[in-house]
């Protein structure tokens, strides 16, 4: 299946083709992940240890959540450069609510997610209603949010020492309390629950269907009388609230809202999305692929570190893997078409 039929208006039953192509890409990405795991396990006895696997999953949690948010937007054919600094902004908001105002934990959680959703709503409005290209609109939002994070926090980290249960949000382990041999951090659990939920939203709900439809042919969606702009705003708002979850996770893990953090994290998220086989052109992608993409990135980085590969080379290898993954995906589709 080539790109052409995806974008042709004559695709009356896109679901079947998409599923088939998506499944193949997921298998390919999954196979690469397994190859990496086997390779690093053979290369170092320290790699395949419970503590290290948990460290890898922990390292994946924040980027994974951001990548899920980016997946939604990218499937619509858009891009969201503000995910990283929005994460930071929501972390700062949680800090303001919990530490400055001394409110209870649920309020902090709700504030971060709601503020994230509002920011996504603004991005979506700029893009859908005011017709500012997504790249520019979210670039602007990225800078606005970065600046506001610094302004609100007074450029200093906000610590959560008054909310002792806050770090447990990411670093505690509900599963470990039940099965002590598997102390899976809550942050990872949250990532998996979120991924499952968003996967369901994409495949089983109207919002999900319009997400793909907007990405493959926005004009057709519009002409068929659907409120395309409204749905687009909704998708950006959903992505924004997911960034709020990422903000909570990172703040909880660091026990602090670090206001200077976040720039560059959008690129890691986009890389995970792309490695997972979601097309930057829109209309095609999956959350499962994205999670595998995020895992590939953190396994690779952790494995290279465990092998004591010099940091310069870690960066080079990561870049190569991104190109290789996308090229492999293209080859597969060309052959299938």
Residues that bind another protein (CB under 8 A): 28, 31-32, 35-36, 39, 43-44, 46-47, 49, 51-52, 55, 58-59, 62, 155-157, 159, 167, 171, 250, 253-256, 258, 260-264, 298, 301-302, 304-311, 313, 317, 320, 324, 328, 331-332
Q: Which is nearer to another protein, 12 or 311 (CB)?
A: 311
Q: Which is nearer to another protein, 103 or 307 (CB)?
A: 307
Q: Which is nearer to another protein, 14 or 157 (CB)?
A: 157
Cβ neighbours for 53, distance < 8 A, ≥ 6 positions apart:
none
Closest CB 116 distance from another protein, rounded Å? 18
Q: Which is nearer to another protein, 47 or 212 (CB)?
A: 47
> Are the C-beta atoms of residues 61 and 252 closer than 8 Å to each other?
no
The single residue listed with the structure tokens 């919990």 is 98
Q: How far apart are CA 199 and CA 287, in angstroms?
A: 6
Closest CB 101 distance from another protein, rounded Å? 20
Q: Which is nearer to another protein, 14 or 64 (CB)?
A: 64
For 175-204, give one letter per residue: b (16+ CB within 10 A) or e. bbeeeeeeebbbbbbbbeebbeebbebbbe
Closest CB 126 distance from another protein, rounded Å? 26
Closest CB 187 distance from another protein, rounded Å? 11
Closest CB 159 distance from another protein, rounded Å? 6
Closest CB 53 distance from another protein, rounded Å? 9
Q: Which is nearer to another protein, 44 or 125 (CB)?
A: 44
Q: How far apart are CA 93 and CA 241, in angstroms?
A: 13
Q: Is 255 left (phi over 0), alpha (psi -120 to 50) or beta?
A: left
State the DSSP H helix or E strand holding residue 159, giving kind and residue range, or none if neither. Answer: strand 158-159
Q: Which is nearer to another protein, 235 or 301 (CB)?
A: 301
Q: Which is nearer to another protein, 186 or 217 (CB)?
A: 186
Closest CB 225 distance from another protein, rounded Å? 42
Q: How far apart are CA 57 and CA 177, in angstroms?
A: 18
Q: How far apart are CA 93 and CA 99, in angstroms?
A: 10
The tokens describing 256, both together, are: 């602090």
Closest CB 34 distance from another protein, rounded Å? 10
Q: How far apart are CA 50 and CA 304, in angstroms?
A: 17
Please measure the distance between the N-terminal and C-terminal CA atoms of the chain and give it in whole angstroms: 4
The tokens describing 239, both together, are: 């992505």
**Residue 257: beta bridge partners?**
158
Q: How far apart are CA 193 and CA 291, in angstroms?
A: 12
Four-point Cα dihedral 152, 126, 269, 206, nearest 10: 120
Closest CB 196 distance from another protein, rounded Å? 24
Q: Which is nearer to another protein, 58 or 71 (CB)?
A: 58
């Amino acid at each position: 299946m080539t790109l052409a039929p995806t974008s042709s208006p004559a695709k009356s039953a896109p679901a079947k083709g998409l599923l088939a192509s998506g499944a193949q890409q997921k298998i390919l990405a999954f196979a690469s992940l397994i190859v990496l795991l086997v390779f690093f396990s053979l290369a170092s006895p320290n790699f395949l240890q419970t503590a290290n696997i948990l460290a890898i999953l922990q390292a994946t949690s924040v980027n994974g959540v951001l990548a899920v948010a980016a997946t939604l937007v990218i499937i619509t054919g858009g891009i969201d450069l503000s995910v990283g600094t929005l994460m930071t902004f929501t972390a700062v908001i949680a800090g303001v609510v919990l530490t400055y105002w001394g409110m209870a934990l649920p309020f902090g959680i709700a504030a971060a997610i709601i503020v994230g959703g509002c920011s996504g709503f603004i991005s979506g409005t700029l893009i859908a209603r005011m017709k500012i290209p997504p790249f520019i609109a979210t670039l602007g939002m990225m800078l606005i949010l970065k600046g506001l994070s610094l302004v609100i926090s007074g450029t200093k980290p906000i610590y959560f020492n008054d909310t002792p249960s806050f770090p447990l949000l990411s670093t505690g382990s509900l599963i470990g309390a039940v099965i002590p041999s598997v102390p899976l951090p809550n942050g990872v659990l949250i990532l998996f629950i979120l991924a499952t939920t968003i996967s369901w939203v994409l495949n089983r709900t109207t919002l999900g269907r319009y997400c793909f439809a907007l990405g493959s042919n926005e004009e057709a969606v519009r002409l068929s009388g659907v409120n395309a702009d409204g749905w687009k705003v909704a998708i950006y708002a959903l992505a924004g609230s997911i960034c709020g979850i990422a903000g909570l996770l990172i703040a909880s893990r660091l026990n602090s809202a670090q206001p200077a953090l976040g720039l560059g994290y959008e690129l890691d998220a986009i890389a995970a999305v792309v490695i997972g086989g979601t097309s930057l052109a829109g209309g095609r992608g999956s959350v499962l692929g994205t999670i595998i993409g995020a895992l590939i990135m953190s396994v690779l980085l952790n494995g290279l570190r465990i092998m004591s590969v010099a940091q310069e080379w870690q960066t080079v290898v990561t870049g190569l893997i991104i190109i290789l993954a996308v090229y492999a995906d293209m080859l597969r589709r060309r052959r299938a078409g």
